[in-house]
Amino acid sequence: MHLDQLEGLVVFTGGTGRIHAGARHLSGGFGGPLFITGVNPDVRLNDILAGIPLSKDKKMSIDLDYTATTTRENVQMTLDWAKRQKIEKIGLITGYYHYPRTRLLLKQAQKSGAAPLVIKALPVYPDDVSVKFLFREYIKFLGTYVRII
């Protein structure tokens, strides 16, 4: 699926380069909307976009979620946002290491009755990921897989 077939973009905060990737897609021609979930309550849109040149119209197409604090909550907020926006196809911007668990949580939510959502992975590849970090993410994935986490 190509970017121009998507109806919205979603950024899960918590990793290097994710918000900048979403803003790059907006400044590169994607019309929006863009949903950023898991934003620190003390941070405002202008703080997030400092140094990123976006038009006023593009900035107005960005929605921020301040309530999600976990990946599971990011997934639920994404599903709720997509439903409110009547969006069925999104691009999901998160770390490459984070995407498998996120995708699994989305599938679990959809099995529980959430509306189907077509998702295109738009992974970010940060340079500062250690083997220990990847191992922890893998353990979280396994826990999610067996529905422990």
> Using N-to-C axis directions, what is the helix angle for 99-111 and 71-85, rounded to 10°?
60
Candidates 82, 88, 91; CA nearest to 63 is 82
How many Cβ atoms from other residues are within 10 Å of residue 56's Cβ?
Answer: 6
* Full residue range of the structural domain in which residue 64 is found: 3-145
pTM for the model stands at 0.87
Which domain CATH number covers 121?
3.40.50
pLDDT tens track for 36-82:
999 999 999 888 888 888 888 888 889 999 999 999 999 999 999 99
| Tally of structural domains, the chain | 1
Q: Is the pLDDT of residue 148 over 70?
A: no
Give the pLDDT band of residue 115 (cuts 50, 70, 90): confident
Q: Give the distance from CA 122 to its chain's centroid.
A: 9
The count of C-alpha atoms lying within 13 angstroms of the C-alpha of 145, restricted to the half-sphere facing its C-beta, is: 8
The structure tokens listed for 138 are 């893998």
pLDDT tens track for 3-49:
778 999 999 988 888 988 998 898 888 887 999 999 999 999 888 88
